Amino acid sequence: MKATIFGASGLLGKALMREWSGDDVLGLGSRDVDIRDPDKVREVVEQARPEWIVLAAAYTDVDGCESHPDLAFAVNRDGPVNVARAAKRIGAKLLFLSSDYVFDGKKTSPYETQDARNPQSVYGRSKAEAEVRLLDEVPECCIARTSWLFGTGGKCFPDTILKLAANRPALDVVNDQRGCPTYSVDLSRAIVELCRRNAGGIVHVNNAGDCTWFEFAREIVKGAGLATDVRPVSSQQMARPAPRPAYSVLSSKSLQQNGITMPTWQDALQRYLRERNTARG
Ligand SMILES: NC(=O)c1ccc[n+]([C@@H]2O[C@H](COP(=O)([O-])OP(=O)(O)OC[C@H]3O[C@@H](n4cnc5c(N)ncnc54)[C@H](OP(=O)(O)O)[C@@H]3O)[C@@H](O)[C@H]2O)c1
């Protein structure tokens, strides 16, 4: 199989490039092609002629999106439309990475793929609008919604917690947002499998189980053998520019329907901590 990855220099993209073996995979970062440029996108896609395009490129600074909405919509909504049109021209299949932030977080049971989108932030809106536009452009495309991504090779929550915990006796972490941590390695393996199975439609892809950021941080600190005290606080006490959903647990039903099962986030965290230690030598 021939595949092209947009966003190959990001957290997920780096893991995808490592995990995707046995196929002819081309990875592109923003330096190779800016997805806001439709002509350049068409040129590289026509040159590469992949069977699958994985679109992991995005402006992922959720708080930055609030102060730069034009950039957020240009990269996260209009860029994907450029890629979808280029894919359509050569008959390539498309897998687009989306987010749990397309939901408002008002549910108290896991979000199913058909639940209504109601994003609360600019980032969430840009992703939700991209989903609608892509399903319109390429109805058979695959939209893989993921959440709380972590992994080596970039900024992520566990890395931040470990750096802070190494220098502080106590950490305050929000305990009123619940979601599903997702390890870039496990997400990459699931994406490759979805492509091999010719998946289409919306699929929720995250590690099994859920937690709050506080519970996640506590497990990170414990797993690293640190003595730092992790204290639960409310979102109000840690106000951020972009509102986050209080509950964004994604149901695993759609992934199971594609014959894929994900390890628990606790198992994923142990593997991440080992990978991080190895990477740091
Ligand atoms: N991180 C999360 O918690 C999370 C949660 C849910 C969904 N997602 C989604 O999962 C996907 C991967 O996320 P990630 O955390 O791996 O992102 P990331 O680490 O921020 O990487 C973003 C990637 O997009 C590229 N990019 C940014 N602007 C671009 C542009 N204008 N044209 C072309 N490429 C551009 C970057 O290239 P350069 O490195 O060259 O700038 C980089 O390769 C994204 O679609 C994201 O929205 C992430």
Averaged pLDDT for residues 194-222: 98
Averaged pLDDT, 217-243? 94
Residue 7 Cβ contacting ligand 1 at under 6 Å:
yes
Question: Which of 60, 63, 96, 146 most suits a substitution to test ligand 1, by most atoms within 8 Å of the C-beta?
Answer: 60
Q: Counting atoms of ligand 1 from 1, which one is nearest the CA of 101?
A: 6
Q: What pLDDT sits at residue 239? A: 84
> Is the pLDDT at 7 greater than 80, yes or no?
yes
A 10 A CB-CB count for 156 gives 19
* Residue from 89, 73, 95, 76 nearest 3 by CA: 95
Q: Are 127 and 76 in contact (CB under 8 A)?
A: yes
Predicted pLDDT of residue 247: 98
150 Cβ closer than 6 Å to some ligand 1 atom: no
Q: What is the 3-state secondary structure (H, E, C) of 72-140?
A: HHHHHHHHHHHHHHHHHHHCCEEEEEEEHHHCCCCCCCCECCCCCCCCCCHHHHHHHHHHHHHHHHCCC
**Is 57's C-beta closer than 6 angstroms to any atom of ligand 1?**
yes
**Token digits for 15?**
């893991």
pLDDT band for position 279 (50/70/90)?
A: confident
pLDDT reported for residue 175: 97
- Ligand 1 and 195: CB distance under 6 A: no
- Rounded to the nearest 5 degrees, what angle is found at the Cα of 128, between the Cα atoms of 125 and 132? 135
What pTM does this model have?
0.98
What's the whole-number average pLDDT of the chain? 97
Position 163 scores a pLDDT of 96
CA of residue 31 to ligand 1 center, whole Å: 13
Catalytic residue among 59, 111, 123, 272: 123
* The two three-digit tokens of residue 108, written as one number: 């108290």
Atom 27, ligand 1: residue with shortest CA distance: 58
183 catalytic per annotation: no
Whether residue 148 contacts residue 207, with contact meaning beta carbons closer than 8 Å, is answered with no
- 12: Cβ below 6 Å to ligand 1? yes
CA of 154 to the centre of ligand 1 (A): 11
pLDDT tens profile 17-64? 999 999 999 999 999 999 999 999 999 999 999 999 999 999 999 999
Q: Assess whether the C-beta atom of 146 lies below 6 angstroms from ligand 1.
A: yes
**Sorting pLDDT into bands at 50, 70 and 90, what band is 218?**
very high
Question: Which residue reads 């897998």 in tokens?
Answer: 95
**Ligand 1 pocket: which of 76, 149, 206 to mutate (most atoms <8 Å of CB)?**
149
Q: Give pLDDT, residue 248.
A: 96
Q: Is 95 in the pocket of ligand 1 (CB under 6 A)?
A: no
Does 121 have pLDDT greater than 90?
A: yes
226 CA → ligand 1 middle, Å: 30
Q: Quote the percentage of the chain above a pLDDT of 90.
A: 95
Tell whether the model's pLDDT for residue 238 goes beyond 90: no
What proportion of the chain, given as a percentage, has pLDDT over 70? 100
Helix (H, G, I), strand (E, B) or coil at 65: helix
